[in-house]
């Protein structure tokens, strides 16, 4: 079997015979030999291949080993005189799988802007930065599963096509099977979308929470990890129309337990990535953000700050800052407020809890003050909200009343209300924006650069 370059770099011994396959990053022709750096995506550094002139002379394809070409090299590992690696591959056999015309191949050896790379989304995974991001993303996913699996949580698969609006915010993409050339019409002459999904309305899910609650009231502790969708026209560096969310849901759990889990969870994921991706984290530290390592270390080891929403408003009011958006009890926190709290006031992640009921979703449990709900958001420096969660309203009458008072139609929530009729228990959960986590972990500025195929308003090409 083909050997991964990462494994060869870590475990290869001088004298080992190896075959590697990958894409050429650079080629340097010297008098007595040619140096090629080849990378298969398993590592940042790539493997240095030395092609002696005798081998080059017997390999006509060598001229096509240009940046971007796919090739295979067999030979023996030798000590490397270079300072960047201990070993290199002395090639004896070379096979060119597919060339890459240097006149047109867009990824030449220079730094390209992230904006430019987004226009060549089919090739950008071959860059150092996207490569490092994707490996960290993969490690985060593994850490998440390990964290929950070790604690006995069941991974449940919630649907992407759904009839309910979990957040009640109307940010839903409609799923349609209608022939829009000849759509059915309402008596008023409008397109009749009620027939959307083979005869009923359906949407892309904004969150798996409601279904996760079904599963938590059968399996106690569960989590989801899958794509979610928001039809909001937000062109910011932290919003996507399609993003991945991790949503644990726990029966017999209150807001305090929810906050404790969120903190332990993030600490675990940061520690895991520090342990498993040292090469990538060092790269981000050097190239992207000088503080990523310190931030990750802090996330992995220190407790988060906690502030009630009411305290947070007082802090903001006393800050003396001229914020762009107004600050007053009852108004939602904007990104600038969230960042002030985390970055400047607390100088670490902060959990803000007990938000006003009027600005939060219908399912959050009403507190005894009748004004606030048992909600919590984890706010991270530079990003703002990374996790949003709550204790859920488990009392049938209160829930029904909340649905109605938020102007929602209770009918589609009949089964959700049923869960409060049969074996209802206090339960709680949260949603982590997976891309915001990866953004925070890597220090990348733009959320579009931490997902392989970003979906933002007007962008769906690749
Ligand atoms: O705060 P949100 O809207 O909460 C929920 O959806 C709950 N149902 C979760 C739960 O309790 N199970 O979203 C949760 C997280 C946010 O904190 C944010 O990190 C991320 O999802 N998020 C987005 N990430 C990228 N692009 C967007 N448009 C996002 N909207 C939310
Ligand atoms: Mg939220």
3 state DSSP class of 263: helix
Distance CA 290, CA 295 (A): 10
Of the candidates 359, 365, 379, the residue with the CA atom closest to the CA atom of residue 429 = 365
| pLDDT tens digit sequence for 102-125 | 999 999 877 899 999 999 999 999
What is the predicted pLDDT for the residue at 102? 94
What is the predicted pLDDT for the residue at 108? 82
Q: Is the CB of residue 204 below 6 angstroms from any atom belonging to ligand 1?
A: no
Choice among 155-169, 182-196, 345-359 with the minimum mean pLDDT: 182-196
Measured in Å, residue 363 CA sits from the centre of ligand 1 at: 15
Q: What angle do CA 156, 265, 293 make, to 5 degrees?
A: 130
Measured in Å, residue 380 CA sits from the centre of ligand 2 at: 13
Contact between 441 and 144 (Cβ < 8 Å): no
Report the percentage of the chain scoring pLDDT > 90.
Answer: 85
* Alpha-carbon radius of gyration of the chain: 26
What is the predicted pLDDT for the residue at 41? 97
Tell me the pLDDT band of 442, cut-offs 50, 70 and 90.
Answer: very high
Task: Write the CB contacts of 134 (distance below 8 Å, at least 6 apart in sequence).
Answer: 41, 125, 452
ipTM for the whole predicted complex goes beyond 0.95: yes
What is the predicted pLDDT for the residue at 2? 64
pLDDT above 90: residue 1: no
Measured in Å, residue 116 CA sits from the centre of ligand 1 at: 28
65 in a structural domain: yes
45, 143: one domain:
no
Angle, nearest 10°, between helix axes 128-150 and 434-442?
120
What is the predicted pLDDT for the residue at 350? 97
**CATH number of 84's domain:** 2.40.50.140
94, 136: one domain:
no
Choice among 1-5, 62-66, 159-163 with the minimum mean pLDDT: 1-5
pLDDT above 60: residue 294: yes
| pLDDT tens digit sequence for 85-106 | 899 999 999 999 999 999 999 9
Give Cα 239 distance to the centre of its chain.
Answer: 11
Distance CA 389, CA 392 (A): 9
Tokens of 124: 């950008």
Q: Is the CB of residue 248 below 6 angstroms from any atom belonging to ligand 1?
A: no
pLDDT above 70: residue 242: yes
Atom of ligand 1 nearest to the CA of 241: 28
Contact between 310 and 333 (Cβ < 8 Å): no
Task: Write the CB contacts of 409 (distance below 8 Å, at least 6 apart in sequence).
Answer: none
Q: Where is the domain boundary, 81, 98, 115?
A: 98
What is the predicted pLDDT for the residue at 176? 86
Tell me the pLDDT band of 401, cut-offs 50, 70 and 90.
Answer: very high
Overall average pLDDT of the 301-328 stretch: 96
51, 132: one domain:
no
Q: List residues bridging with 155 in a β-sheet.
A: 223
Angle, nearest 10°, between helix axes 292-301 and 434-442?
120
297, 148: one domain:
yes
Q: Is the CB of residue 365 below 6 angstroms from any atom belonging to ligand 1?
A: no
229, 353: one domain:
yes
139, 92: one domain:
no
Q: Is the CB of residue 357 below 6 angstroms from any atom belonging to ligand 1?
A: no
Of the candidates 43, 105, 44, 29, the residue with the CA atom closest to the CA atom of residue 70 = 105
Choice among 68-72, 186-190, 320-324, 348-352 with the minimum mean pLDDT: 186-190
Give Cα 17 distance to the centre of its chain.
Answer: 39
137, 66: one domain:
no
232, 335: one domain:
yes
Residue 91, domain extent: 5-98
Pocket residue to mutate for ligand 1, from 158, 245, 447, most atoms within 8 A of Cβ: 245
Q: What angle do CA 275, 280, 284 make, to 5 degrees?
A: 120
149, 81: one domain:
no
φ, ψ at 257 (rounded to 5°): -65, -35
What is the predicted pLDDT for the residue at 191? 84
416 in a structural domain: yes
Contact between 419 and 213 (Cβ < 8 Å): yes
41, 142: one domain:
no
338 in a structural domain: yes
Tokens of 282: 């060092």
431 in a structural domain: yes
pLDDT above 90: residue 317: yes
**CATH number of 428's domain:** 3.30.930.10
Residue of the CA atom closest to atom 22 of ligand 1: 433
What is the predicted pLDDT for the residue at 165? 84
Q: List residues bridging with 19 in a β-sheet.
A: 74
What is the predicted pLDDT for the residue at 265? 98
Contact between 23 and 69 (Cβ < 8 Å): yes
Measured in Å, residue 374 CA sits from the centre of ligand 2 at: 13
Q: List residues bridging with 380 in a β-sheet.
A: 384
Q: Is the CB of residue 243 below 6 angstroms from any atom belonging to ligand 1?
A: yes
Contact between 224 and 246 (Cβ < 8 Å): yes
270, 360: one domain:
yes
Q: What is the DSSP letter of 44?
A: S
Q: Is the CB of residue 209 below 6 angstroms from any atom belonging to ligand 1?
A: yes
Q: Where is the domain boundary, 79, 98, 117?
A: 98
Atom of ligand 1 nearest to the CA of 429: 11
195 in a structural domain: no
Residue of the CA atom closest to atom 21 of ligand 1: 433
Long-range CB pairs of 444-448 (<8 Å, 24+ gap) are: 444/129, 444/133, 444/284, 444/288, 445/114, 445/237, 445/288, 446/114, 446/237, 447/237, 447/238, 447/239, 447/240, 447/243, 448/114, 448/118, 448/237, 448/240
Q: Cα dist. 161→200, 211, 460 in Å?
A: 12, 12, 19
Measured in Å, residue 311 CA sits from the centre of ligand 2 at: 19
118 in a structural domain: no
305 in a structural domain: yes
Q: Is the CB of residue 283 below 6 angstroms from any atom belonging to ligand 1?
A: no
Overall average pLDDT of the 203-230 stretch: 97
What is the predicted pLDDT for the residue at 201? 86
The neighbour count for residue 108, using CB atoms within 10 Å, is 11
- How many domains is the chain built from? 2
Tell me the pLDDT band of 194, cut-offs 50, 70 and 90.
Answer: confident
293 in a structural domain: yes
74, 150: one domain:
no
Higher-confidence residue of 116 and 193: namely 116
């Amino acid at each position: 079997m083909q050997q991964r370059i990462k494994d060869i770099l870590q475990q290869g011994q001088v004298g080992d015979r190896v075959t590697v396959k990958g894409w050429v990053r650079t080629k340097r022709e010297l008098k007595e030999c040619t140096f090629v750096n080849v990378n298969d995506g398993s590592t940042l550094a790539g493997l240095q291949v030395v092609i002696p002139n005798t081998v080059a002379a017997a390999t006509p394809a060598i001229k096509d080993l240009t940046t971007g070409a796919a090739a295979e090299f067999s030979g023996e590992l030798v000590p490397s005189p270079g300072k960047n690696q201990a070993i290199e591959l002395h090639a004896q056999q070379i096979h060119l799988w597919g060339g890459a015309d240097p006149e047109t191949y867009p990824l030449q050896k220079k730094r390209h802007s992230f904006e430019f790379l987004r226009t060549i989304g089919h090739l950008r995974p071959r860059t150092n930065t996207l490569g490092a991001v994707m490996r960290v993303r993969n490690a985060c996913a593994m850490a998440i599963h390990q964290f929950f699996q070790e604690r006995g949580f069941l991974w449940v698969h919630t649907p992407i096509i759904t009839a309910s609006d979990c957040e009640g915010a109307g940010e839903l993409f409609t799923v349609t099977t209608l022939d829009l050339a000849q759509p059915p019409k309402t008596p008023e002459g409008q397109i009749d979308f009620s027939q959307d999904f083979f005869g009923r309305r359906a949407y892309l899910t904004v969150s798996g929470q409601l279904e996760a609650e079904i599963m938590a009231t059968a399996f106690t502790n569960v989590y989801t990890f899958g794509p979610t969708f928001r039809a909001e026209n937000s062109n910011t560096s932290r919003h996507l129309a399609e993003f991945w969310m991790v949503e644990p849901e726990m029966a017999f759990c209150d807001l305090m337990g929810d906050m404790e889990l969120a903190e332990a969870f993030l600490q675990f994921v940061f520690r895991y990535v520090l342990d498993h991706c040292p090469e990538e984290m060092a790269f981000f530290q050097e190239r992207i953000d000088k503080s990523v390592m310190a931030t990750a270390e802090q996330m992995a080891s220190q407790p988060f700050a906690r502030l009630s929403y009411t305290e947070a408003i007082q802090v903001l009011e006393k800050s003396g800052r001229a914020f762009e958006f107004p600050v007053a009890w009852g108004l939602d926190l904007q990104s600038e407020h969230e960042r002030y709290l985390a970055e400047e006031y607390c100088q670490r992640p902060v959990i803000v809890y007990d938000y006003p009921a009027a600005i939060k979703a219908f399912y959050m449990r009403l507190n005894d003050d009748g004004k606030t709900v048992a909600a919590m958001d984890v706010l991270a420096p530079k990003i703002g909200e990374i996790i949003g969660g709550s204790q859920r309203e488990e009392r049938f009458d209160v829930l029904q009343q909340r649905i109605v008072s938020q102007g929602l139609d209770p009918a589609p929530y009949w089964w959700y209300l049923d869960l409060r009729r049969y074996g209802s228990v206090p339960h709680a959960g949260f949603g982590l924006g997976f891309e915001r986590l990866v953004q925070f972990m890597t220090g990348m500025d733009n959320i579009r650069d931490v997902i392989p195929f970003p979906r933002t308003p007007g962008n769906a090409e690749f």
